[in-house]
Structures are given as structure tokens and as C-alpha cells.
Amino acid sequence: QVHLVESGGGVVQPGRSLRLSCEGSGFPFRSYGMHWVRQAPGKGLEWVAVIRNDGSQKYYADSVKGRFTISRDNSKNTVYLEMNSLRAEDTAVYFCARDFVVVTVTMDKESWFDSWGQGTLVVVSS
């Protein structure tokens, strides 16, 4: 059974940094891309970043580009999100999610979030 557990959240002052971790188990971690998705209190979902299974490619939402870095250590079955220059608007529950790739009959590749962790709360406040 797929299990994802996030950690590292907490209260941090604006402008400071924080690193989140997400450990996966129950599946071949090194075979899957991984995402971070966040949800501000009482709000909807916002995709943050994705990293390919081998770490070779990384993509970010415009709202975090240049401030956040996604990385992974397949020997530890863990994906990370390094968050720098934090702002009040970064306050959210941060979920990690597994990348579910579907190859269609036309050989297009669809990408979805098929398993999620329970999330870790990050509060940016002075």
C-alpha cells in the first residue's frame, strides 16, 4: 500500500527558510515522479513543483519559481522541498503526491496525482 509521510512544517518568520520532507513507502519510489501541492487555510489546491523519478527534470509554479527547490534522494525514498524567502502567502498545508503517468492510445503522456500524504502545515508569520 502506498504511504507518503510529510514532515518539516512549522512556524517561520517572513524571509526565512524551511525544508520539507516526504518519505514514501509501499511502492518503488525511484520509479515515480513526485509533486508538492499546497492548500492555504480554507482555500483550494495549488500545484507547487514536480521532480522526475531520476531527478533529471524539475518544474515549478510561477508563484514559487526562484524561491523553492524540489529535490530527491532515492536511496532514502524521500523528496524534499527547500523553501527560501518565505512570504505570508506561502502559509499552507503542503502535500506531497505521487505522479501517476498514463500513456494514451495516441502516445500522449498524462500526469496526475494518484496518492497523497496527509500534509504538513507551514505558517509564515512574524
Partner 1 sequence: EIVLTQSPGTLSLSPGERATLSCRASQTVKTNYLAWYQQKPGQAPRLLIYGASSRATGIPDRFSGSGSGTDFTLTISRLEPEDFAVYYCQQFIDSPPTYTFGQGTKLEIK
Site for partner 1 in 88-107 (CB under 8 A): 95, 100, 102, 104, 106
DSSP state of 89: G
* Exposure string for 34-63, b = 16+ CB within 10 A, e = fewer: bbbbbeeeeeeeebbbbbebebeeeebeee
Comparison of 17 and 118: residue with beta carbon closer to partner 1? 118
- Give the footprint of partner 1 on residues 14-53 (CB under 8 A): 35, 37, 44-47, 50
Name which position in 24, 64, 70, 117 contacts partner 1 (CB under 8 A). 117
Amino acid letter, residue 51: I
7: left (phi over 0), alpha (psi -120 to 50) or beta: beta
Q: Which amino acid is at 42?
A: G
Interaction between residue 5 and partner 1 (CB under 8 A): no
Q: What residues line the site for partner 1 (CB under 8 A)?
A: 35, 37, 44-47, 50, 59, 61, 95, 100, 102, 104, 106, 108-114, 116-119
